[in-house]
Amino acid sequence: MFDIFRKYLEDKITLTDMDYEFIESVALFKKLRKRQYLLQAGSVFRFHAFVCKGFLRNYYVDEKGQEHIMQFAPENYWTGDFGSMNYGLPSKYDIDAVEDSEILLLQKEDFEMIRKTIPSFNDFVNETLKKNALVLQERIYANISLTAKEKYGDFIAKYPTISNRVPLHMIASYLGVSAETLSRVRTQSAKK
Amino acid sequence: MFDIFRKYLEDKITLTDMDYEFIESVALFKKLRKRQYLLQAGSVFRFHAFVCKGFLRNYYVDEKGQEHIMQFAPENYWTGDFGSMNYGLPSKYDIDAVEDSEILLLQKEDFEMIRKTIPSFNDFVNETLKKNALVLQERIYANISLTAKEKYGDFIAKYPTISNRVPLHMIASYLGVSAETLSRVRTQSAKK
DNA sequence: GATTGATCTTGACAAATGTCAAGAAATTTT
DNA sequence: AAAATTTCTTGACATTTGTCAAGATCAATC
């Protein structure tokens, strides 16, 4: 399972074998069956989670019991909870597996240690955080500017592979639109 | 003007006088009158901008000419455009002054240099990026989950000082709601 | 302090989206 | 293969939100 993570890193930065050995020595691995939780709201989560295989989702359940999907995390994506990680607070989010998955976990402290001792890893983290900010920004733009139809179009254009892998109601939840509206929007688009 | 920035940094990290001297030596300063642009869509912007005084907004103008506010930046906030900065692309956003403002600018290269030579500054950048991600996440949550009324309540609860400083139609634009709806929502809330 | 421009409110109506419910279709489990 | 579960679609209707237009209020400028 570590191979996948190593390949991911090799694609971004150059590390020595020793670096990799160290990272591997502190990495934890976890297999999740479909629908199994990686994190349940209410508990503290102090890991950086990297998806080697499968598909996770990060979502919030409101008082009415409605799920609001904050993030989709397929292979080669990171997930977790910055809030819980940084402030040691109980998480407000659930993370579970949409498909059977294999996850690599790095404890906050180990991750920080790696970041501080390997400059190129630090740059990579920085870069990743900036890219993440860009992605979030684009999502905000879509949220505040587009119609339901446009949101759906934007989503499948940006994430064709994700939209094939998850049920429509999850995309609806991610976009902040009802599943019925999304279903209508889609058949309407297909007609043209 | 540098004093303000120095105070801001002193509050977060400990640097030597030499560090500050170096930072000051590369910093640029800019005064903006109300409505003046710091950045116009179409041009490349390779600065980190820190607001010492005043109030900026970062927004997108769509094909229909509608403004969509991506960020409010009052004193002690950073603004800029990650996309343009990192990829050297023409910006899609406008940034202008909502009030007369004083801005400190750090060129991308200088900023990177500071980050790489001063470890605590690097940690600070990292920390700031993570906090930024949290803020964006919360905004996404509000966008996909709340009604117009709840969005407004959430906004004034989170940003009481901002909501007093900007016209209602800008808050509406930030929230992705029409100004009329927001006006109604507000009088309706006041009645109760 | 008169004028101008910006901001805010309100009404009437239109359009978009949500809700509820039921059944069809597809997928998974047994 | 049958049963169970999940997903998707569709209709009818309610609700929310947007649009357009007009006037009122407020603030800035000369």
Amino acid B9: pLDDT: 98
Q: Do A144 and B174 touch (CB under 8 A)?
A: yes
Q: Say how far B50 CA is from D10 C1', in Å.
A: 53
Going by C-alpha positions, the residue among A109, A48, A35 that lies closest to residue A82 is A48
Task: Please report, in angstroms and rounded to a whole number, the separation of the first and last CA atoms in chain B.
Answer: 45
pLDDT tens, B132-151? 999 999 999 999 999 999 99
pLDDT tens, A13-56? 999 999 999 999 999 999 999 999 999 999 999 999 999 999 99
**Span B110-115, average pLDDT:** 97
| Structural Rg of chain B based on CA atoms | 18
Amino acid B3: pLDDT: 96
Going by C-alpha positions, the residue among B94, B34, B33, B42 that lies closest to residue B68 is B94
Determine contact, residues A170/A98, Cβ cutoff 8 Å.
Answer: yes
Angle at which helix A119-145 crosses helix A108-117, to 10 degrees, equals 120
Beta-carbon pairs below 8 A across chains A and B: 81
Q: Say how far B34 CA is from C3 C1', in Å.
A: 21
pLDDT tens, A153-171? 999 999 999 999 999 999 9
Q: Which residues of B touch A83 (CB under 8 A)?
A: 134
pLDDT tens, A91-129? 999 999 999 999 999 999 999 999 999 999 999 999 999
Amino acid A191: pLDDT: 56
Interface test with A, best of B62, B143, B146 (most A CBs within 10 A): B143
pLDDT tens, B66-109? 999 999 999 999 999 999 999 999 999 999 999 999 999 999 99
Q: Which chain B residue lies closest to A123 (C-alpha atoms)?
A: B116
H-helix segments, A95-118: 108-117
Q: What single-letter amino acid sits at A137?
A: Q
Going by the DSSP 8-state scheme, the letter that residue B41 receives in this structure is T
Angstroms from A29 CA to nearest CA on chain B: 24
The answer to whether B139 faces chain A, any CB pair under 8 Å, is: yes
Q: Say how far A168 CA is from C11 C1', in Å.
A: 39
